[in-house]
Amino acid sequence: MISAQPGRFFLDSTRCIGCNACVQACSECDTHRGYSMIQLDILDRAESPQTAPVICMHCDAPTCAEVCPADAIKRTADGVVQTARKPRCIACNNCVLACPFGVPKMNTDIKLMMKCDLCYDRTSVGKKPMCATVCPSQALFYGTSEELNELRPNSQPVNSFLFGAQVVTTRVSVLVPQHSAPVHLDVLEALYDPPSGNLMEEALF
């Protein structure tokens, strides 16, 4: 067995090229074969072809687990918020409605909430998540902070998000340009930002 290595997940939407390799790889994961836990969004179809992968952010205090009346959603000791446990999930959709990132999805066919669990069968034994192994542009990167600093010297990871007056911290970090890295990413403020043009150029990678 491969010994587990410390790793973190970093998300850089400015590098996403919309190839859907992550979506396909996720659907081949052994724990949920046939279902992809990644959603690929088009940010502003009228202005840009820019896409962004949407994955579970694995909150330090997961709202999805807090609102689950059946205690079906567990957070591991190393900070991974797992998908709902089939014997306990009652398909009430509380978690779907409560998640600030809009991640959990209810599979109505099998009456089970399903979401990214960071390929826990792989990461718990030192392997990378399926999506991070196939992303050609490294928009999805899994590794140590030291590896990230060497590869992206102009980037800064941020894992603190502001939703109105609520601060949400996460295990997954979003990469932003180092020269403009905020303490918290204000999610609601970003909703009203005008399109910024070439995101790749702006990131200065």
Which of 160, 37, 49 shows the shortest CA–CA distance to 105?
37
Q: Where is average pLDDT lowest: 36-50, 53-67, 119-133, 142-156?
A: 36-50
Q: What is the pLDDT of residue 45?
A: 72
**pLDDT band at residue 184, thresholds of 50, 70 and 90?**
confident
Residue 59 near residue 170 (C-beta atoms within 8 A): yes
For the chain, which domains are there?
1-55+121-205 (3.30.70), 57-115 (3.30.70.20)
> What average pLDDT does this structure show over 98-105?
93
The model's pLDDT over 1-18, given as tens digits with 9 standing for 90+, comes to 333 446 899 999 889 999
pLDDT tens profile 89-99: 999 999 999 99
**Side chain identity, residue 181:** A
CA distance 161 to 182: 10
* Angle 10-149-195 from CA coordinates, rounded to 5°: 55
Region 63-79 average pLDDT: 95
Closest among 23, 16, 40, 46 to 129, alpha carbons compared: 23
pLDDT of 22 reads 95
Quote the pTM value: 0.85
Task: Compute how many other C-beta atoms are within 10 angstroms of the C-beta atom of residue 171.
Answer: 19
